[in-house]
Amino acid sequence: MRIVHRRRSYRRVCGCGVPGIVSAPVPAKPIAKGMFTANFLARLLVEKYVWGRPLSRIAAALASEGFDVAQGTLVGALKATSALLAPLDTAVRARNGAAGHVHVDETSWKVFEDVEGKANHRWWLWVFAARDTTVFTIEPSRSTKVLRDHLGIDADAKSLEDDRRLLISSDFFTVYQSLDRITGVDALWCWAHIRRYFIRAGDAHPEQLADWRDAWVERIAALYRAHQARSSCAAGSMQQRRADEDLAVGLTAIDTARGDQAADPTLHPAAVKVLTTLDHEWDGLARHKDFPDLALDNNTAERGLRNPVVGRKNYYGSGAVWAAALAGRVWTITATAQLAGCDPLAYLHAYLDACAANSGRAPTGEDLARFLPWRATPAELAAWRAPGRGGRSP
């Protein structure tokens, strides 16, 4: 529904020394001299980046409600909003990059802008999921540089500075393996990924490997059952110690089976290939025994990518580099807010209201810090959990 604000004007009819005409002040807006309110801009960001609706459909929906707005006008509003979100995005990235444990994953993305030195439009969407922050970044490469830049590790560093320690949960991609070779970085490889290798081999050769596949799936399932049981136990309890023992027994059973089967000269080549991968990644897989409080897999990062991937299917990437940067900013901010139990629409509305109150500039200092979910007060978090106020308004 379109809401029209009519500002009253008053004309002087006396001889007092006041202006001849007095008008009501212009409503504060996040974009100086812009046509959209904080509520509208928050809704626009959530519709596109959280709910995955292309701008063409958003414009069509607005038109059906009586507000005809050009898609290019919406693009201009998004571009202007990006600068307002930058300080909040920067603060979240800094905290995430300093975390002691992160889940990392990446998927392909399209950015349809020609960039000097890049031969194609294939970029990569990365996700870094920590305990209280989630960061998304769209980068032109899938190289180790992305990891090092975000995590604050120098390009030639062989070890982390001081007594810093970093745990990385990921799949077996080579960039993560290169990070594992840095002293102070410990890789926790994903058991869900290695499980898929056994399943694919068994499905490809069901007559020869179906029983072999099922036996391996059950061994891995025993690990998950022990891990799940441990997570439901009180810290230091007898039940937790028993679950720790079950987890160790499960890892020992897998270690024994892989050694016995590797010595079998009659083993199917497809099974040999999977066991070779298991041997190569064993240290990172077995390291979960030392960190039983952490997930056995990298599903946290994969789930984080799900919403952007749905959007990718709807609007097929980003049309420009600035649009890719904005997408990463909005996903970073909204995903981090959701970790704290906040509603993205209410949270963005409150933040953009603060930008409007600051004369169309992003808040700074303590005014910015109060929007960081890990520093917000319980009352502020409760307010952001409320549903967004009102509908669309220009």
Q: How does pLDDT run across 110-141, given as a tens digit for each residue?
A: 999 999 999 999 999 999 999 999 999 999 99
Residue 93: strand pairing partners: none
From 270, 297, 324, the end of a domain falls on 297
**183 and 204 together in one domain:** no
- The answer to whether 149 and 129 have CB atoms below 8 angstroms apart is no
> What is the rounded CA–CA span in Å between residue 319 and residue 300?
28
From 264, 282, 297, the end of a domain falls on 297
What pLDDT shows up at residue 285?
97
Distance of CA 383 to the CA centre of its chain: 23
**286 and 306 together in one domain:** no
**69 and 176 together in one domain:** yes
Which residue segment(s) compose the domain that 159 sits in?
1-190+298-394
**20 and 98 together in one domain:** yes
**164 and 212 together in one domain:** no
Evaluate if residue 391 carries a pLDDT over 60: no
**177 and 205 together in one domain:** no
pLDDT in tens, 86-104: 999 999 999 999 999 999 9
Query: DSSP string of 57-84?
Result: HHHHHHHHTT----HHHHHHHHHHHHHH
The pTM for the full model equals 0.90
Is pLDDT larger for residue 242 or for residue 331? 331
**101 and 183 together in one domain:** yes
What pLDDT shows up at residue 393?
35
Evaluate if residue 49 carries a pLDDT over 70: yes
Confidence band of 386 (pLDDT split at 50, 70, 90)? low
pLDDT in tens, 168-221: 999 999 999 999 999 999 999 999 999 999 999 999 999 999 999 999 999 999
* pLDDT > 70 in the chain, percent: 95
CA dihedral 64, 68, 71, 74 (to 10 degrees): -100
> Which residues are CB-contacts of 218 (< 8 A; sequence separation ≥ 6)?
none
Of 3-17, 39-53, 107-121, 291-305, the least confident = 3-17
- The answer to whether 166 and 160 have CB atoms below 8 angstroms apart is yes
Evaluate if residue 388 carries a pLDDT over 60: no
Closest CA to 291 of 339, 224, 244, 229: 244
What pLDDT shows up at residue 153?
93
* pLDDT > 90 in the chain, percent: 81
Closest CA to 330 of 68, 122, 82: 82
**354 and 205 together in one domain:** no
> What is the rounded CA–CA span in Å between residue 325 and residue 23?
39
Q: Average the pLDDT over 245-264 and give the result.
A: 94
Residue 37 class from Cβ within 10 Å (0-12 exposed, 13-18 middle, 19+ buried)? Answer: buried
Distance of CA 222 to the CA centre of its chain: 30
Evaluate if residue 275 carries a pLDDT over 60: yes
- Tally the domains of the chain: 2
**The token pair that represents 258 in the structure block:** 């892989």
**289 and 168 together in one domain:** no
**11 and 40 together in one domain:** yes
Rounded to 5 degrees, what are φ and ψ at 15? Answer: -100, 15
**81 and 13 together in one domain:** yes
**229 and 327 together in one domain:** no
From 297, 315, 343, the end of a domain falls on 297
Confidence band of 1 (pLDDT split at 50, 70, 90)? low
What pLDDT shows up at residue 37?
92
Closest CA to 126 of 117, 141, 136: 136
